[in-house]
């Protein structure tokens, strides 16, 4: 499944309120994780342009460049919105259905020809054609569909077929029928990118999301977040700064206290770690706030544009 996720993510990057038949209208009703990036908003921001510069450098050679050229695609120009969702394949199983839906502009004929040239095979469902992607894992084959010149679907075969069915029906009922959707209002409505996770169900999946535990604070935070019912995070690009936020939900006061203490400890550890080599980051970290209510712990802060650009530059050298 991990190879499939990588395949789907790579292909999605090569393709360009919830309206019917757009990417967000196709979030599966039983999704346990949902992530959205509004590429169009990033494209018009001087702050996010730093990320686009690095993305362009990645595709300057190799198989990715050949595929993009044959498909007639320029990711930073042709993608507007990308949505990634995972759902459990069975109620108690560990395997996941994966769906990536992208809105943008692309030429379907050139895209499908480029896929077929790499071994993709065409299949037909009740509501449209799709292409099986060549993978080493025969039990979790990936698929792609391009119902029109503005929408691309990539993921596991079942997820792609279900998305074609949902599109024909005018979209899913995720926003009204999903328990996960009721907490979307807590996320900044202007967020450039956001993700929300049903922790209890997602942690059963073999490739479920987790916080990096390469550090002591990361390991503690990862352990604490597993006790929450729902976790979300978002980033809002305002042009001159990047606003970051995250929350964790629980009805247990002790759990909330544990997460609050862990977050405060993690911030303190980060300040100590950077005070010698990057002292300017200390003041930035001090401006991050941790708050707690009866059912949530929230952390939020703002990173100045100059600091963000410097960080991105160091990470890509």
Residues 214, 151 share a domain: no
Taking only the tens place, the pLDDT of each residue in 51-60 is 555 445 444 4
Residue 276: CB atoms within 10 Å: 8
Q: Which of 50, 43, 143 is nearest to 101 (CA)?
A: 143
**Residues 4, 20, 245: CA angle, nearest 5 degrees:** 65
The answer to the question of residue 14 being in a domain is yes
pLDDT of 143 reads 93
Residues 154, 8 share a domain: yes
The answer to the question of residue 245 being in a domain is yes
Q: Which of 6-20, 164-178, 196-210 has the highest mean pLDDT?
A: 164-178
The number of distinct structural domains making up the chain is: 2
Which of 155-159, 178-182, 227-231 is the least confident region?
Answer: 178-182
> What residues pair up with 296 in beta bridges, in sequence order?
249
Q: What percent of the chain has pLDDT over 90?
A: 46
Q: Which of 40-44, 204-208, 237-241, 291-295 has the highest mean pLDDT?
A: 291-295
Residues 105, 243 share a domain: no
pLDDT of 1 reads 42
Q: Which is higher by pLDDT, 190 or 51? A: 190
The answer to the question of residue 183 being in a domain is no
Taking only the tens place, the pLDDT of each residue in 164-178 is 999 999 999 998 887
Parent domain of 241: 210-315
The answer to the question of residue 188 being in a domain is no
Residues 142, 67 share a domain: yes
CB-based contact 79:104 (threshold 8 Å): yes
What does pLDDT average to over the chain? 81
CB-based contact 292:228 (threshold 8 Å): no
d(CA 224, CA 218): 10
The answer to the question of residue 197 being in a domain is no
The answer to the question of residue 186 being in a domain is no
If you average pLDDT over residues 95-124, what whole number do you get? 90
Residues 105, 42 share a domain: yes
User: Which of 176, 201, 225 represents a domain boundary (last residue)?
Assistant: 176
Residues 240, 135 share a domain: no
């Amino acid at each position: 499944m991990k190879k499939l996720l990588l395949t789907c993510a790579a292909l999605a990057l090569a393709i360009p309120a919830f309206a019917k038949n757009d990417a967000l209208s196709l979030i599966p009703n039983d999704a346990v994780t949902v992530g959205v990036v509004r590429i169009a908003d990033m494209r018009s921001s001087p702050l996010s342009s730093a990320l686009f510069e690095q993305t362009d450098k990645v595709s300057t050679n190799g198989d990715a460049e050949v595929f993009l050229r044959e498909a007639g695609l320029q990711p930073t120009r042709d993608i507007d919105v990308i949505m990634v969702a995972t759902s459990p394949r069975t109620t108690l199983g560990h395997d996941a259905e994966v769906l990536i839906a992208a809105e943008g502009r692309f030429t379907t004929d050139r895209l499908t020809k480029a896929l077929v040239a790499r071994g993709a095979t065409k299949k037909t469902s009740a509501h449209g054609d799709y292409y099986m992607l060549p993978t080493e894992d025969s039990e979790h084959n990936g698929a792609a569909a391009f119902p029109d010149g503005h929408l691309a679907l990539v993921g596991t075969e079942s997820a792609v077929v279900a998305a074609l069915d949902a599109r024909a029906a005018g979209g899913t009922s995720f926003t009204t029928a999903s328990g996960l959707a009721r907490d979307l209002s807590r996320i900044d409505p202007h967020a450039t990118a956001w993700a929300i996770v049903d922790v209890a169900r997602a942690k059963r999946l073999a490739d479920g999301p987790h916080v990096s535990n390469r550090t002591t604070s990361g390991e503690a935070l990862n352990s604490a977040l597993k006790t929450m019912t729902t976790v979300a995070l978002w980033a809002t690009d305002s042009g001159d700064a990047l606003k970051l936020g995250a929350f964790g939900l629980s009805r247990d006061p002790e759990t909330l206290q544990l997460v609050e203490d862990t977050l405060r400890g993690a911030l303190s550890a980060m300040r100590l770690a950077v005070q010698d080599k990057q002292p300017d980051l200390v003041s930035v970290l001090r401006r991050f706030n941790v708050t707690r209510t009866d059912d949530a712990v929230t952390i939020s802060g703002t990173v100045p544009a100059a600091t963000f650009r410097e960080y991105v530059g160091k990470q890509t050298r």
